[in-house]
Structure 1
Amino acid sequence: MKIRRFGNVTIALLLAGLTGSAQAQDAPVQNVPAPEILVDSSLIDRAMSAIGEKYRDSAEVQQELTRLADSASSTFEEFKRANDNLESLLVLNAGFRKSISIQEENIATLDESIASVEEVTREIPRLMEQMLAALETFIELDYPFLLEDRRGRIQFARDAIDNPDVSIAEKFRQVLVMYQTETAYGRTIETYPDTIEVDGVERDVNIVRVGRVALIYQTTDRQETRAWDNRARAWVELPPGEYRTAIQDAIRVAAQLDAPRIIELPVMAPEVAQ
């Protein structure tokens, strides 16, 4: 054990208390050597160590508090960012919900359209057959020009309708093309060679067609000229001296051998109702 010695200390008040008040009044104050006081230094060391430990603990606590404060501040900032992101996500989610709602409505509309298309698809074959039947009847009642070609197109369309490898769209397209072709005949002029039978006799002729207004033929030797009477369903002979040259000119114009010009042609006028 370490013992520390302390020097002389003037302790007048302490000595006065020990000798009594009477002696203090009579005797003069004297310097008395102080007794030596022995102190255990380990106690002081432990006290100092405890104090130092306390201060160290306080510093560590302060550091921990500072760290926790910084962490709390960082956590709060992260919370703010997360909250801002949440608000943005809520707005975005609302937009998505609206888009989904619109898409669901569109899907419902498409479903209805698909159902309608399926119904129409089932009806198209019957419709096409009706259209072909009507067109076939029309051709047979029309002016008798290019009959082989026109009947052949009818048969081609029917074969397409009966073919399972041909799509509905292609089948319908074939029918529409036929109608467009027949419609175009009413706006065109053409000439072509043909062999027809009149009064039981076959004749090699040149036919000229002017829309659906006039259908006329002239034999290759130019000796006979006739016009088709659709009401009578027969070829009517024309006066050779009156129309022979006019028909020759019409044939040349239709064949684009001559420039277009005005030509007088026989047209079967409808009968006046009585």
Structure 2
Amino acid sequence: MLRTFRTLLFSSAVWMLTAPALADKLEQAIDTETRTLSEAARSQKKIDRLDDATRRMLDEYRHALREIESLKTYTAHLKTLVESQRREKADLARQIEEIASAEQQIVPLMLNMVTALERLVQLDTPFLPEERRQRIAQLKAMLDSAETSTAEKFRRIIEAYQIENDYAHTIEAYRAELALGDETRPMDFLRVGRVALFYLTLDGKSAGLWNARQERWETLPDEYLRPLSQGLRIARKEAAPDLLTLPIPAPEVEQ
């Protein structure tokens, strides 16, 4: 009993001596574990941040890849457009050269056409003389104008030729001054194509025919006064078309 008691006393003494040391060790262990857990938590947060950053970078990378593909497609399209524009530019340059060359040839042609048209009016039956001379004068002024394009000049000349051509297929009545001898007075004129040109005095008492061969006016017999008056009314659309008996100059026969 005494030994047992001594053993217990010894154990208690040992326990009393080692308890503080164990407490210190336990506290140190707890501190170490706490620090370890804190470090682990910080590491996890860091890992989480790195993971988020990695995801963002991956998303940005994928987005960049999509943009690169889009840019590749757009660049290929631009290359096609540039090539097309190069071809169009070459075509335009060739057309400009052709236009410049054509313009060098067409300008003398237009000058000759206006000269020929003026000569035609001078030698033709003298109907609408003032109107036709004025048309020629306008064409000449237009040819010297820098404001009118070559295409417009050519169009206007062709239009003048068309007007002259149409005279051969129409009849027309108009009033104008006519000089006969020393007297100039207004007359009614009847043009039948380019075949014949007549005049009738306003009182209807005298008529005449242009003699192209002799280039002068000839007085007509009174029997033509009524047909001429009727012809004027038909040309003015004041009467229905009808047959007229009028003298028509015979064509010249070459010897």
Give the TM-score normalised by the residue count of structure 2: 0.76
SS at match of 1:218: strand
- 1:196 matched to 2:168? The reply is no
**Within 1, Cα distance between the matches of 2:118 and 2:197?**
20
Q: Aligned equivalents of 1:202 and 1:152: distance in 2? A: 24
Distance 1:193 1:158, change over 3 A: closer
Question: Which amino acid in the other structure matches residue 229 of structure 2?
Answer: Q
Q: CA deviation at 1:60?
A: 1.7
Q: Provide, for residues 190-213 of structure 1, a one-character-per-residue CA deviation record: whole Å limited to 9, x for no partner.
A: 22243134xx56575432102223
For 1:219 and 1:111, the matched residues in 2 are separated by 63
Residue in structure 2 matched with residue 36 of structure 1 by the alignment: 14
Aligned to 1:168: 149
- 1:75-86 equivalences in 2 (<5 Å): 75-86=57-68
Find the counterpart in structure 2 of residue 268 from structure 1: 249
Q: How does 1:59-208 map to 2 (within 5 A)?
A: 59-164=41-146, 166-168=147-149, 171-172=153-154, 174-191=156-173, 192-197=175-180, 204=185, 205-208=187-190
Residue 251 (str. 1) matches residue 229 (str. 2): no
Q: Is the 8 A contact 1:203 1:219 kept in 2?
A: no
**TM-superposed deviation, 1:175:** 3.2
Equivalenced residues, count: 242
Partner of 2:34: 52
Over residues 31-77 of structure 1, what are the superposed CA-to-partner deviations in whole Å (9 max), with x where a residue is unaligned? 83225143434444333212221222122212222322232223222
TM-score normalised over the length of structure 1: 0.72
Q: Whose helix fraction is larger, Structure 1's or Structure 2's?
A: 2
Give the secondary-structure state (helix, strand or coil) at the position aligned to 1:267.
coil
Stretches of structure 1 that go unaligned for 5 or more consecutive residues are 1-28
Structure 2 residue aligned with 1:17 = none
How far does the alpha carbon of each residue in 1:166-222 deviate from its partner, in whole angstroms, 9 at most, with x for none? 33356545534433432332343222243134xx56575432102223212234565
> Which one has the largest radius of gyration?
1
Range that drifts further, 207-216 or 185-194: 185-194
CA distance in 1, matches of 2:199, 2:81: 70
Which has the higher mean CA deviation after the structures are superposed, 226-235 or 50-59?
226-235
Distance 2:76 2:157 in 1: 51
Unmatched segments (≥5 aa) in structure 2? none
For residues 118 and 250 of structure 2, the distance between their equivalents in structure 1, rounded to whole angstroms, comes to 25
Distance 1:184 1:120 in 2: 29
Q: Give, in whole Å, the separation in 1 of the partners of 2:251 and 2:204.
A: 28
3-state SS in 2 of match to 1:261: coil
Flag the 1:47–1:127 CA change in 2: closer, same or farther, 3 A: same
What CA RMSD, in Å, does the superposition of the two structures yield over aligned residues? 3.2
Rounded to whole Å, the distance in 1 between the matches of 2:43 and 2:203 is 130
